[in-house]
Structure 1
Amino acid sequence: MSLLKILNISMNYHSIKGETQALENINFEVEEGDFVSILGPSGCGKSTLLNIISGLIEPSGGHALYKGEDIEKNLDKIGYMFQKDHLFEWYTVWENVILGLKIKKQLNNKSEERANELLDTYGLTKFKEHYPSELSGGMRQRVALIRTLALNPEILFLDEPFSALDYQSRLLVCDDVYKIIKKEKKTAIMVTHDIGEAISTSKKVIVLSKRPGRVKVEIPINFAVSNLTPFEKRKNPQFSGYFNRLWKELN
């Protein structure tokens, strides 16, 4: 059984001017351990789809199933990373990391120990008492990811998590986040408008059409050399072939 199954998802928005169809008949599956990117033109409904899959908004039609059950019954299995890190500036790194645990009343010796281990593993222990304003953009994103991982979700949803960073930082943080997700053995679905980002991180890229968004094509990404980092994949000869194919699909 697939970890996540998207069945006939459609989304319509209603206003005084009439009805707008954002998504139409979206179907795909995600296996455990996959890293899947959703790519498409601006305004095609990528973020809307991610919000539906994660249970944040209800679709006009269709279902998102997690291990065969409605996604809304499994919201505790989900972690979400937004475009911005949403760290509270008046909280220290540690206070930000354990915030979700406190809200969900899961803060105990075991969860504190895991949070400390995550900070230590990913090089942030010495910054525990620092405030977000004292961190680089990349470090802030690591803190945001660790805050999400502290809740021990089984699947991560990432909505353009690197878009607020400059190009050089994007490349470095993309490597960082990818390695952390793989090391923690999490399944991930990422929305991005960056072709290179999708190729370098993903096992599969789902391309949506213009609005109303439909699944235009699913492209598996398989590099002949295994265990490459996203940055190393960008330098691999296969990268340009995938890039050209995805560019044509988007145009």
Structure 2
Amino acid sequence: MSLLELKDINLNYHSKSGEIKTLTNIDLKLNQGEFITVLGPSGCGKSTLLNIISGLIPPSSGDITFKNESLELNKDKMGYMFQKDHLFPWLSVWNNVILPLKIKHELKKEKLEKAEELLKAYALWEFKDRLPTDLSGGMRQRVALIRTLTLDPELLLLDEPFSALDYLTRLKVCDEVYEIIKKEGKTAIMVTHDISEAISLSQRVIILSRRPAYVKKELTINFSEAADTPFKRRKEENFRKYFDEIWGDLDEQ
């Protein structure tokens, strides 16, 4: 059974000049524990697709199911991580992390213990009383991910989560975020413009066409068992093969 399934998803906008087609006939299945990435030309609707999956935007037509149930019944099973960390600068790291629990009135002992456990596991506990301005960009992204995990979502939606970081920090944080997602046993869909990032993190890469976007290709990514981090995967011999294939598909557009 698929965790998430999209069937014939279409999205049309209406403007003064007429109807604008954004997504057309999108079919997608995501299995439990899988990490997939969506690539495509700028403006093709990658982030819009995430917003549809999260329930923030209803599709014009088509069907989305989560564990064979209606998406409407399962919106709380998803966690969304955006391009910017969106940490509140006047709140401590701890209060930023537990904010979703406060909003949902779920400040229970086991949930707070889980938040504490995550901060300790990923080397942030000693910074729990610091403000976000005291942290590096990479640390802020780790805090943002841990905040997303406090509600224990089954599916993570990642919208270019590393784009605000410099290149070296980006490489390091890619490894850190991958490790957290893997250890916590989460399923994830990530949108990015970065081909190398997509290949190094994913089990499958979904390539969208120009608008109106459809699924142009699905590419399964395989590396050796020794390449167990995104950084190590970048050194694998077949990394370049995947890169050239994806670049070719995007360059055609």
Q: What whole-Å deviation, never above 9, does each CA across 1:155-189 have from its counterpart, x for those lacking one? A: 10000000011111111111110010000000000
Q: Which residue of 2 aligns with 1:156?
A: 156
1:225 positional shift = 3.1
Tell me how far apart the structure 1 counterparts of residues 70 and 57 of structure 2 sit (CA, whole Å).
Answer: 13
Q: Which residue of 1 aligns with 2:197?
A: 197
SS in structure 2 of the partner of residue 130 of structure 1: coil
Q: Which residue of 2 aligns with 1:112?
A: 112
Tell me how far apart the structure 1 counterparts of residues 129 and 72 of structure 2 sit (CA, whole Å).
Answer: 36
Poorly superposed stretches of 4+, deviation over 4 Å:
none
TM-score w.r.t. the length of structure 2 is 0.98
1:224 positional shift = 2.7
2:92 aligned with 1:68: no
Query: Which amino acid in structure 2 is aligned with residue 13 of structure 1?
Result: Y
Q: Which residue of 2 aligns with 1:207?
A: 207
Tell me how far apart the structure 2 counterparts of residues 249 and 237 of structure 1 sit (CA, whole Å).
Answer: 20
Q: Which residue of 2 aligns with 1:15?
A: 15
1:28 positional shift = 1.2
Q: Which residue of 1 aligns with 2:219?
A: 219
SS in structure 2 of the partner of residue 84 of structure 1: coil
1:12 positional shift = 0.6
Q: Which residue of 1 aligns with 2:59?
A: 59
Query: Which amino acid in structure 2 is aligned with residue 220 of structure 1?
Result: T
Q: Which residue of 2 aligns with 1:36?
A: 36
Tell me how far apart the structure 2 counterparts of residues 175 and 7 of structure 1 sit (CA, whole Å).
Answer: 32
Q: Which residue of 1 aligns with 2:48?
A: 48
SS in structure 2 of the partner of residue 224 of structure 1: coil
Q: What whole-Å deviation, never above 9, does each CA across 1:83-136 have from its counterpart, x for those lacking one? A: 100000000000000000000111111111000000000000000000000000
> Identity percentage over the alignment?
61
**What does 1:82-97 align with in structure 2 at a 5 Å threshold?**
82-97=82-97
Structure 1: tracts of 5 or more residues without a match: none
Tell me how far apart the structure 2 counterparts of residues 123 and 227 of structure 1 sit (CA, whole Å).
Answer: 24
Q: Which residue of 2 aligns with 1:170?
A: 170
1:226 positional shift = 4.5
Q: Which residue of 1 aligns with 2:81?
A: 81
1:62 positional shift = 0.7
RMSD: 0.8
1:7 positional shift = 0.6
Query: Which amino acid in structure 1 is aligned with residue 195 of structure 2?
Result: I
Tell me how far apart the structure 2 counterparts of residues 227 and 35 of structure 1 sit (CA, whole Å).
Answer: 16
SS in structure 2 of the partner of residue 57 of structure 1: coil
